[in-house]
Amino acid sequence: MNKNVIHEEWIDALPLDENGNVDLYSLFQAFQKAATRHAEEIDIGKDFYLPRHLLYVLCRIKAKFLAPFPKEGKIRLVTYALMPGRVSFLRDCFLEDESGKRILLLKTLWVLIDEKRRRIVLTDPLCERMEGLKEDVLSLPDVFDEELTALEEEEVSSPCLEYVVSEKDIDSNHHLNNTIYFRLVEKAGIQGRIKTLELDFEKECLLGDKILVYRKGDYYCGYRRGELSFKCKIEESL
């Protein structure tokens, strides 16, 4: 197997809250950086998407928290991209503590976007780029055998949080960085130990947008300019 098909790195222990939950912003920052490094390693990084005026956009995630995160020491992060479908592709990830105990499973769904038109395009260029790795990539296991299905939108009443997108929140895709959405969910209030987390990104948020965040039980969502921006569901164990 091509050694670059799977990316592995050791990261420092991540911040924890009073319930023992890992700081979601820090967790997904670490994943995002590792995914970016891995894209470069398998030649689907900037040299691939910039000349084609394409962007990678994260659409959906599901995370399963299997065991407590360590307070100190190192964490092993492993991630790999699966072969693209017609319009989307999956990237899986898992984390282990120093003893080799698996503490997190993460599955993410991505699309390619035309940078100028901000529209989804077919993954044909990506499939062609990954053709040489296809045999090895097809042998990789799903981190968990479940489809990433869209969350149902729920009715909500009044917002519990307002947030205005600032310059420091904007990423290289010129919209609100994905990791900030997790910060908004955390600010809306997580009271117990997180068991599963699902988040769907609906409409991108831009500089100056005001996001109204709502919470209804285990359901969280955000609206900007009257449109749904994200929806999230968190299963907690009290």
Tens of pLDDT, residue by residue over 141-170, are 999 988 899 999 999 989 999 999 999 988
Give residue-wise pLDDT tens across range 183-222.
Answer: 899 888 888 899 999 999 999 898 999 999 999 999 999 9
Residue 238 is predicted with a pLDDT of 60
Query: Which pLDDT does position 80 carry in this prediction?
Result: 97
Pick the CATH number of 161-237 from 3.10.129.10, 1.20.1050.10, 3.60.130.10, 3.20.20.70: 3.10.129.10
Question: What are the DSSP calls for the chain, one per residue?
Answer: --GGGSEEEEEEPPPB-TTS-B-HHHHHHHHHHHHHHHHHHTT-SHHHHTTTTEEEEEEEEEEEE-SPPPSSSEEEEEEEEPPP-SS-EEEEEEEE-TTS-EEEEEEEEEEEEETTTTEEE-SHHHHHHTGGGHHHHHTSPPSSS---PPPPP----S-SEEEE--GGGB-TTSSB-HHHHHHHHHHH---SEEEEEEEEE-S---TTPEEEEEEETTEEEEEETTEEEEEEEEEEE-
Check residue 169 and give its pLDDT. Answer: 87
pLDDT attached to residue 174: 80
Write out residues in the chain with pLDDT < 70, as ranges: 238
Per CATH, 3-138 and 161-237 having the same topology is answered: yes
Domain 3-138 indexed as CATH 3.10.129.10? yes
Report the predicted TM-score, pTM, of the whole model to 2 decimal places.
Answer: 0.93
pLDDT at position 23 is 94
Per-residue confidence (pLDDT) for residue 178, from 0 to 100? 86
pLDDT attached to residue 54: 95
> Would you kindly state where each structural domain of the chain is located, as residue ranges?
3-138, 161-237
